[in-house]
């Protein structure tokens, strides 16, 4: 619900503040009316994805014996985290009513800048990491600023950024390195400490937990807190519900949208550093097509394509479904060519289920 809608409901059409009865006497505040647990659950945008995640888990538990092993659980979580880190800001951006088609290649751009700056300048790896952060945030600012200044659809803006970054990634890498991949920076100063932050792992019993899982959990927690407990979260929902109505009640629409695109860029920087410090070299053509995986995870998690509805937790569940499906097919020893089919089927089913859940929630509100 947007602040504009909330304002209308609280004031009432008759100017009575929304709490007066037909005879003008004060009535109970709608916000204090108790709602049953089933009704509260039906209003949650991630409900459909949780049901879908349970179904996928049960399915692969039966289809693949090794799926229930603790070691497999760590692998599933890692696969989910590589998508989930980006699915979180993409979900917030979609709640705000916008898209970003440049996210996949932006991750690669972030890794390339870190690697090539460190190698060419023979600098401490951390210098390259810092420069990469600045460059990546600048890309996010560019997307948001151009969107708000030109009023063009975000699809067009970010499609253009996607194409430009794809060309820059390949062109600069071949110009500087002479090949389509960067040089190894594994022997450079600062590499070991940077790897600890971006690409280390922790073994607990039979579970091998990658540090990306911790990054993912932290981002989900922060994003959920922002959406549900801060003024910025209200602004995001308001902008997604209707930019003109949000602006009319004082929401800083331009600042909110630029901030969302910079949040996407920040998470792309995290993913890019993980890519670099996991393998110490980067292929310039990586990342193309991943933007759709991030959007799919957000949509499966309950985000509407029209904006104004969704949650960060839902995007995490959507990414977890992706991890279970991608690794479950391997553990079941099926042909991995079927993965895209399952992903597309889940997207359609999740969209239909989310639409049904939202209609039921609105009907019982």
pLDDT single digits (tens) 62-84: 988 889 888 889 999 999 999 99
Across the range 208-235, mean pLDDT stands at: 95
Q: What's the pLDDT band for 230 if we cut at 50, 70, 90?
A: very high
Mean pLDDT check: name the lowest of 15-24, 112-121, 150-159, 219-228. 15-24
| pLDDT score of 232 more than 90 | yes
Number of H helices, E strands in the chain: 15, 2
DSSP state of 209: E
- CB count within 10 Å of CB 104 equals 24
pLDDT at 39 over 90: no
**Banded pLDDT at 22 (limits 50, 70, 90):** very low
d(CA 86, CA 79): 12
For residue 207, which phi and psi values (nearest 5 degrees)?
-100, 125
Q: Average pLDDT in the 197-219 region?
A: 92
Q: What is the mean pLDDT of residues 309-337?
A: 90
Q: Domain 70-364: give its CATH code.
A: 1.10.3470
Residue 1 pLDDT greater than 70, yes or no: no
State the pLDDT at residue 365.
59
**Domain spans, the chain:** 70-364
Q: What is the pTM of this model?
A: 0.86
Residue identified by tokens 């049960």 is 58
pLDDT at 210 (0 to 100) = 93
The tens digit of pLDDT for each residue in 151-192 reads 999 999 999 999 999 999 999 999 998 899 999 999 999 999
H or E element in which residue 204 lies: strand 201-204
Distances 199 to 131, 185, 209, 278 between C-alpha atoms, Å: 19, 14, 11, 5
Does the pLDDT at position 213 exceed 80?
yes
* pLDDT tens per residue across span 197-206: 999 998 887 7
Percentage of the residues of the chain whose pLDDT score is greater than 70: 86
Q: Tell me, what's the pLDDT at 358?
A: 67
Helix (H) or strand (E) holding 256: helix 253-279
**Rounded to an integer, what distance in angstroms lies between the CA atom of residue 266 and that of residue 247?**
26
């Amino acid at each position: 619900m947007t602040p504009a809608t909330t304002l209308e409901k609280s004031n009432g059409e008759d100017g009575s503040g929304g709490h007066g009865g037909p005879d003008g006497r004060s009535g109970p505040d709608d916000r204090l009316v108790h709602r049953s647990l089933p009704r509260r659950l039906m209003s949650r945008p991630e409900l459909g994805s949780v049901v879908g995640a349970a179904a996928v888990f049960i399915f692969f538990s039966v289809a693949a014996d090794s799926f229930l092993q603790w070691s497999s659980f760590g692998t599933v979580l890692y696969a989910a985290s590589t998508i989930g880190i980006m699915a979180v800001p993409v979900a917030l951006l979609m709640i705000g009513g916008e898209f970003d088609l440049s996210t996949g290649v932006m991750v690669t751009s972030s890794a390339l800048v870190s690697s090539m700056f460190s190698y060419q300048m023979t600098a401490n790896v951390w210098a390259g990491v810092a420069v990469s952060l600045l460059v990546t945030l600048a890309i996010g600012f560019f997307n948001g600023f151009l969107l708000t200044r030109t009023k063009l659809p975000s699809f067009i803006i970010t499609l253009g950024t996607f194409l430009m970054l794809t060309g820059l990634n390949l062109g600069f890498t071949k110009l500087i390195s002479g090949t389509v991949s960067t040089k190894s920076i594994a022997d450079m100063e600062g590499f070991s400490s940077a790897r600890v932050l971006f690409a280390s792992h922790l073994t607990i019993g039979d579970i091998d937990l990658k540090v990306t899982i911790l990054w993912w959990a932290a981002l989900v927690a922060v994003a959920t807190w922002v959406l549900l407990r801060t003024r910025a979260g209200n602004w995001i929902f308001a902008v997604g519900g209707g930019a003109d109505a949000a602006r009319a009640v004082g929401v800083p629409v331009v600042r909110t949208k630029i901030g969302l695109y910079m949040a996407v860029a920040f998470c792309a920087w995290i993913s890019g550093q993980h890519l670099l410090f996991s393998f110490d070299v980067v292929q310039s053509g990586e990342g193309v097509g991943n933007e759709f995986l991030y959007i799919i995870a957000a949509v499966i998690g309950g985000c509407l394509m029209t904006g104004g509805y969704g949650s960060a937790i839902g995007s995490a569940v959507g990414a977890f479904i992706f991890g279970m499906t991608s690794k479950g097919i391997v553990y079941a020893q099926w042909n991995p060519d079927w993965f895209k089919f399952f992903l597309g089927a889940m997207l359609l089913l999740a969209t239909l289920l989310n639409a049904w859940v939202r209609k039921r929630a609105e009907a019982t509100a």
